[in-house]
Amino acid sequence: MNANHWFMDSESGTLADVLLCRPEHYSWIPSNDIAIQTLASGRRTNHADMLSQFDELVDALRMADVNCHFMTPQSGMPYEVYTRDSSQTTPFGTVVTRMSRPERRAEEGAVRQFYAPGEIWKTCTQGHIEGGDIHFIRPGLLVIGVSGGRTDEDGARQFADWFIQEGWTCRLIRFPAHFLHLDVIFTMINDDTAIAVTDVLPDADLAWLRAQGIRLLPVSYKEAMNDMGCNVLALGKGRVISPRHSTRINQMMRAEGMEVLTPHLEQFSRGGGSVHCMTMPLRRASLAR
């Protein structure tokens, strides 16, 4: 592998570099069930609060010694702030994903402008797959969420096949499309622990995850959908960034001995995303022993 390639082989290795996009053009649009419910309640975005909350997230990352890299915001791309979805860092180089929603497809061109040509390992060409559904548990173990919406069977299988060819074990986890992405209902917070909506994930998948040595801390449906409570970012070394309004979940993680950084992120959670969606790790320390 070229030493200049970005690299990650887990969701929990110590985070060194991350890709972000300032929400200059972000707005809630009725493209997912969470935003639809928010708009139906009469709430509207507050641009000043949104920018302030984004700055809080950047401050939290920098306090954790993470180098922040930024894409240039493009008009007409209301969800470009969710950098998790348009590309995926891997142990072998970057993969450019294939977005499902029409209003997000132009993000492929924008993300290609960020990466150097030699950094792109693969480009997804089958079906649809988005980064919020891709979870590197640890070296050699990959999980892909398949809702049939943002990520479908064809997209998931093409991505999985690349890693199966590299000797990885890959599991597809299926769930209802109104959850958007797997990271709305499942996210690793350290090397052997995840927070998950255990009442939603299929029993066979829960049993498989536990068989891999992963502890599952329960999150409720309301916490996941109202607060984006599962959508957190592991920083490594027992640290995590989580929305400040997720008070019970933050207390639960602190009870596990974790350090929890808590920026305000309500303007994003009400639109259907949060800190995991807003961050594409570019470089993590390897968990390979």
Domains of the chain: 15-284 (3.75.10.10)
Tokens of 192: 């052997």
**Is a pLDDT exceeding 90 seen at residue 123?**
yes
Which segment of 37-41, 150-154, 182-186 scores lowest on mean pLDDT? 37-41
| Residues 155-192: b if buried by 16+ CB within 10 A, e if exposed | bbbbbbebbeeeebebbbbbbebebbbbbbbbbbbbbe
* 19, 142, 186, 263 from 250: Cα distances, Å: 24, 26, 15, 12
Lowest average pLDDT, out of 74-78, 168-172, 173-177, 218-222, goes to 74-78
User: Can you tell me the mean pLDDT for 202-209?
Assistant: 98
Could you tell me how many residues make up the chain? 289
User: For the residues 198-219, what does the mean pLDDT come to?
Assistant: 98
Q: What is the mean pLDDT of residues 259-288?
A: 91
In 3D space, the residue among 99, 79, 77 whose CA is nearest the CA of residue 88 turns out to be 99
Q: What is the pLDDT of residues 28-61, one digit of tens each?
A: 666 666 666 765 676 777 788 889 999 999 999 9
Burial bucket for residue 1 (CB in 10 Å: 0-12, 13-18, 19+)? exposed
pLDDT above 60 (res 256): yes
Q: What percent of the chain has pLDDT over 70?
A: 93
Angstrom distance (rounded) from CA 252 to CA 241: 13
pLDDT tens readout for residues 224-251: 988 999 999 999 999 999 999 999 999 9
Q: Is the pLDDT of residue 213 over 60?
A: yes
